[in-house]
Amino acid sequence: MLKVRKKVIVVALGGNALIQEGEKGTIQEQFANIQKSIGGIVHCIKKGFEVVITHGNGPQVGNMLLMAELSRGKVPELPLGICVADTEGAIGYMIQQTLVNSLQKECIKKCVVTILTQVIVDKNDPAFKNPTKPIGPFFTEEETKKIINEKGWKMVEDSHRGYRRVVASPKPLKIVEDESVKRLLESGEIVIAAGGGGIPVILSEDGALEGVDVVIDKDLASSVLALNIKANYLMMLTGVDRVYLNYSEPNERPLDTITIEEAERYMAEGHFPPGSMGPKIQAATNFLKGGGEYAFITAIDKVPEPIAGETGTRIIP
């Protein structure tokens, strides 16, 4: 008997799904925020979608790097890739437990699985020669000079609050564990993967995987994952209900449905900055050009509405 494939949706949780502005980022706060974010995902599951969840990890990795700095000389230093793996597992656990509890209340019997996900980048990506992504704690000018001397890190002044390390953010090319994700979906499981953009790896000359100290944009990695597993939809959840032109200006204008061509034109006009909406729009267009049906951008508490076409921004081929 031919098995009918269910619609697959990749849901990318933004940073405010875990730590909201003004919070300290305690584990209790993170669990509470995840609980608020889970309702839309449960809605998708009840509607019959096969669901893959991705998420950010910026504040958590920053905290790990700060802990490493405070314990310098007392414990071995952790590479950035290990910090990403640690936070991917920890955040995956929090989402996994919260979602399992929510499904039990709805009498839905499904397993939720977190996969530590490696993401291949090109070792010749130009981003390696131009690190731009700030990570970790702030340092004084004196501390910065010493760190550059000892470690050779690239450091930049950030928002007049001090100096921070910047690392490369190369483009994600392929999800190493994509076949495992597909098999789990076919078995009816819910999968959490590519957390924080995934663990960055390159291919060595003999084809072996090798970790690198860079970070990968979560939305771009979500787009690659969605294409690798042939998902139908990509939904990116953030702090605003939809995408706007001239955001926060007197003449701001919400966008309901836009095409790839319109999205790219608006991006070229500078409406979507690299540090905020830009990667989401790029992820959406990449996904659609690769064969995806729709991409959605909306607020974390608005998931049922965009599926029904009532709110959010829909990007179409």
14-41 as b/e: b if 16+ CB within 10 A: bbbbbbeeeeeeeeeebeebbeebbebb
174 noted as active-site residue = no
Measured from the Cβ of residue 253, the count of other Cβ atoms closer than 10 Å reads: 11
133 noted as active-site residue = yes
Rounded Cα distance, 29 and 34, in Å: 9
Which of 15, 56, 195, 198 is the catalytic position? 15
Rounded Cα distance, 2 and 151, in Å: 58
Which of 92, 218, 228, 312 is the catalytic position? 218
15 noted as active-site residue = yes
E strand intervals along 149-245: 154-157, 163-167, 172-175, 190-192, 199-203, 209-211, 233-238, 243-245
Rounded Cα distance, 211 and 203, in Å: 9
**Amino acid sitting at position 309:** G
Which of 33, 56, 92, 280 is the catalytic position? 280
16 noted as active-site residue = yes
Which of 6, 36, 123, 133 is the catalytic position? 133
Catalytic positions, written as ranges: 15-16, 133, 218, 280
